[in-house]
Amino acid sequence: MSEKYGKVYLAGSGPGDPDLMTVKVRRLIDEVDVVVYDQLPGEAILRLIPDKTEKIDAGKYADNHTLTQDKINEVIVEKAREGKTVLRLKGGDPYVFGRGGEEAEELVKAGVSFEVVPGITSAVAVPAYAGIPVTHRDSNSMVTFITGHEDPTKEETGLNWQLLAQFDGTLVIFMGVKMLKRNCDELLKYGKDPKTPAALIERGTRPDQRVTVGTLSNISALAEERNVKAPAITVIGDVVRLHDILGEQISKY
Ligand code: SAH
């Protein structure tokens, strides 16, 4: 009977700066019995988990295999069945490329009650700190969030690059460090203007944030030169020009 079970909060902790966590997540961190976390929320947030709280590092299992995702689901369900209140803490927003939807489905299947706690997604907050609004009246009325395989050995990305090359809005690409060159090449191949401004933002909203600005034709070479590492987000579109005007915002914490 689900009433006997504990409850799971499927939550996002925002892009990294602890000040960008919701008030609700901040409260839950202090209140729950168990926190199951990924590495993405970052040290500054994970440090806030009280000593008394059981901590489970889901990242330890995370290898992008279905099996390991199953294990994460299993442990969450198991803790809830023990009657515990569980905070499943993910980076950004739990339903934006975080497999939160899959975890929620598993909870429904298992009869465990849960609540989603939206977070500030890196898709908009990371460009914002880099001085890049993802929309601007003068340049675009559309924006799209994209993710692809991280595995450069795979031939197909499963994305319709032809359509994306024609898309007249801002492209925000997640998880693309290893795949950046191929993604840019695909867009160029289908005729996207090589001069389209592009930015790569590493560790956005964190004190060691780094922004690399270029164009669609040179951003992947710049990324290699500067040894860009995950987590990073790529923004492609005219809004990137605003970076020079609005400037970067650097967190101190
Ligand atoms: N649910 C998360 C995204 C999870 S996918 C969200 O809503 O933000 C993980 C990807 O998110 C990373 O590979 C990276 O592309 C992006 N990301 C998350 N936090 C980031 C940060 N602080 N700086 C740059 N990219 C970030």
* Per-residue model confidence (pLDDT) at position 154: 66
Tens digit of each residue's pLDDT (9 = 90 or more) over 82-91: 999 999 999 9
Q: Is 236 exposed, middle or buried (0-12, 13-18, 19+ CB in 10 A)?
A: buried
Tens digit of each residue's pLDDT (9 = 90 or more) over 96-141: 998 899 999 999 999 999 999 999 999 999 999 999 999 999 999 9
Q: What is the mean pLDDT of residues 151-176?
A: 85
Ligand 1: nearest atom to the Cα of 209: 23
* Per-residue model confidence (pLDDT) at position 18: 97
| 88/32 Cα distance (integer angstroms) | 10
What is the pTM for the complete model shown? Answer: 0.94
Supply the mean pLDDT for the chain: 92
Q: Is the CB of 212 under 6 A from ligand 1?
A: no
**What percent of the chain lies above the pLDDT cut of 70?**
91
Q: Is 127 exposed, middle or buried (0-12, 13-18, 19+ CB in 10 A)?
A: buried
What's the gap in Å between 170 CA and the centre of ligand 1? 17
Q: Is the CB of 148 under 6 A from ligand 1?
A: no
